């Protein structure tokens, strides 16, 4: 660790922790997030564990099936880590992709003492392997809950181009804590899905401001779905991961009950709000209309004032 | 999908001691290159799976130019291609060779 600052100082721009999380590949995120040189990959690309389904559709495969899993250290402490590549098939879950994450979580469950970081960047289930992908989501959710029941903290980091949608949003909802950047949208049904099913009057997927306001990091932080809001750099995600590893609470039936009450209260308070801005106003956020344009640092101090995360929930 | 394979004699062994490197992602107009130091010092093999069919002659020229320029002896390159242009292919191959020059494992 002591040699790290001098090493990174020599690197060209974008090769150190000031790099944009959004722009970085899954492999770059893993390499820069963890302590330098500490990453050890499981089932690496040289093993060529590719999807058994894509060939049928005459589609190209990727050697790691779009997810990097392994172990390393974060500020000297061991962690398991999984990172989805949002550029390969929208970071979507397929059979092998999902199995790699399930295996990692089950290892964490059995070892008990090593936390898991999941770097989400996904549109949800890969349509070409729908049934296998849906099963993978269910297996992963079960594995997250089993790991947390064994005392393992599972932290989600969300700030990639594909956001965290579909089954990814469900898995994120099972995690101990989440850190999100403004770009990192979290939801289950994506903008196009809602528009297709409910009509453009319900949700205009081309209205980018609406998408970000409804599903983006700022709203998730203010609503309490995400525990930390961070600026779009690897360093900020690293700091947030370390902080959440310290602060994330234990897991049990009381946690679930508290989370259920929080969600019921949320529906009661904001159920009739037609837009995220109305929720912020109902929350008493000063100058709610200015929030979407607020720089990250100003938003973070605002969010800290407005809403303390309920430690019992999540 | 189309599978292509090009085998070349290289003048010199590729610099460095790294045994494996990977660069790029499989996306539209992009590709991933997996480099492995598993061949005899004077040989070079490039295996390609590409979504864009019928461009064998272009691949042949790009790979021959790459081997001539960098002399990647001892390296096997495995490519998953999402329809990258020749300049992107050349860039990724050069990046893979550069990564193999590192001495850390």
Contact A46 B51 (CB under 8 A): no
Q: Are strands B2-9 and B20-23 parallel, antiparallel or unpaired?
A: unpaired
Chain B residues lying within 8 Å of A64, measured CB to CB: 22
Contact A87 B78 (CB under 8 A): no
Helix (H) or strand (E) holding B49: strand B43-50
Asked if residue A186 lies in contact with residue A163, where contact means CB atoms within 8 angstroms, the answer is yes
What local confidence, expressed as pLDDT, does residue B11 receive? 92
Closest residue on chain B to A40 (Cα): B105
Residue A9 lies in a domain: yes
Model confidence pLDDT, tens digit, residues B21-57: 999 999 999 999 999 999 999 999 999 999 999 999 9
B52 touches A at CB < 8 Å: no
Residue A159 lies in a domain: yes
Residue A43 lies in a domain: yes
Mutate to test the interface with B, among A62, A90, A94 (most CBs of B within 10 A): A62
CB contact residues (below 8 A), chain B span 16-35, against chain A: 20, 22, 25-27, 30, 32, 34
| A25, A37, A48 ranked by CB distance to B25: nearest | A25
What local confidence, expressed as pLDDT, does residue A314 receive? 47
Residue A80, min C-alpha distance to chain B (Å): 20
Chain A residues lying within 8 Å of B37, measured CB to CB: none
What local confidence, expressed as pLDDT, does residue A304 receive? 86
Angstrom distances, CA of residue A32 to CA of A110, A163, A185, A240, B14: 27, 20, 22, 14, 27
Three-class DSSP category at B35? strand
Q: Assign residue A245 the CATH number of its domain.
A: 3.90.226.10
Residue A266 lies in a domain: no
Helix (H) or strand (E) holding A198: helix A191-198
Domain that holds residue A35: 4-186+225-251
Residue A313 lies in a domain: no
Query: Domain tally for chain A?
Result: 1
What local confidence, expressed as pLDDT, does residue A310 receive? 52
Residue A282 lies in a domain: no
Residue A264 lies in a domain: no
Interface A:B, Cβ pairs < 8 A: 45
Residue A301 lies in a domain: no
Closest to B37 (Cα-Cα) out of B23, B16, B11:
B16
Chain B residues lying within 8 Å of A63, measured CB to CB: 22, 32, 34, 78, 80
Mutate to test the interface with A, among B26, B79, B84 (most CBs of A within 10 A): B26
What local confidence, expressed as pLDDT, does residue A163 receive? 97
Give the integer Cα–Cα distance in Å for A307 and A154. 23
What value of ipTM does the predicted structure carry? 0.95
Mean pLDDT by 10 residues, chain A (314 residues): 45 76 97 97 98 95 98 98 97 98 98 98 95 97 97 98 97 96 94 94 93 93 92 98 94 90 90 92 89 94 75 46
């Amino acid at each position: 660790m002591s040699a790290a600052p001098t090493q990174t100082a020599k690197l060209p721009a974008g090769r150190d922790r000031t790099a944009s999380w959004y722009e970085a590949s899954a492999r770059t995120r893993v390499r820069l997030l963890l302590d330098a040189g500490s990453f050890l990959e499981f089932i690496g690309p040289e093993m060529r564990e590719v999807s058994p389904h894509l060939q049928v559709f005459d589609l190209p495969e990727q050697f790691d099936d779009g997810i990097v899993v392994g172990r390393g250290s974060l500020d000297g402490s061991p962690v398991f880590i999984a990172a989805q590549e949002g550029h390969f098939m929208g970071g979507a879950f397929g059979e092998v992709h999902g199995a790699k994450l399930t295996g990692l979580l089950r290892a964490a469950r059995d070892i008990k003492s090593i936390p898991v970081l999941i770097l989400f960047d996904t549109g949800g289930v890969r349509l070409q392997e729908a049934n296998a992908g849906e099963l993978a989501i269910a297996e992963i959710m079960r594995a997250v809950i089993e790991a947390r029941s064994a005392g393992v903290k599972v932290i989600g980091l969300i700030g990639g181009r594909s956001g965290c949608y579909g089954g990814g949003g469900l898995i994120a909802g099972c995690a101990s804590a989440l850190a999100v950047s403004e770009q990192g949208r979290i939801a289950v049904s994506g903008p196009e899905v809602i528009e297709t099913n409910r009509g453009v009057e319900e949700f205009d997927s081309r209205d980018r401001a609406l998408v970000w306001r409804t599903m983006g990091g700022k709203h998730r932080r203010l609503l309490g779905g995400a525990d930390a809001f961070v600026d779009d750099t690897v360093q900020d995600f690293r700091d947030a991961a370390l902080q959440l590893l310290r602060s994330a609470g234990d897991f049990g039936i009381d946690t679930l009950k508290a989370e259920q009450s929080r969600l019921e209260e949320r529906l009661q308070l904001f159920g009739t709000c037609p837009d995220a801005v109305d929720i912020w106003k109902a929350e008493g956020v000063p100058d709610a209309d200015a929030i979407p344009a607020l720089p990250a640092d100003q938003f973070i101090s605002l969010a800290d004032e407005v809403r303390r995360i309920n430690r019992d929930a999540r | 999908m189309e599978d292509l394979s090009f085998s070349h004699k290289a003048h010199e062994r590729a610099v460095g001691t790294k045994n494996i490197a990977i660069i790029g992602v499989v996306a539209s107009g992009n590709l991933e290159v997996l480099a492995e130091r598993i061949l005899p010092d004077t040989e070079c093999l490039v295996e390609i799976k590409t979504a864009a069919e019928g461009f064998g002659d272009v691949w042949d020229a790009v790979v021959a130019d790459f081997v001539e320029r960098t002399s990647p002896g001892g390296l096997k390159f495995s490519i998953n291609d999402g329809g990258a242009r020749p300049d992107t292919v050349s860039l990724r191959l050069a990046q893979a060779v550069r990564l193999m020059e590192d001495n850390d494992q």
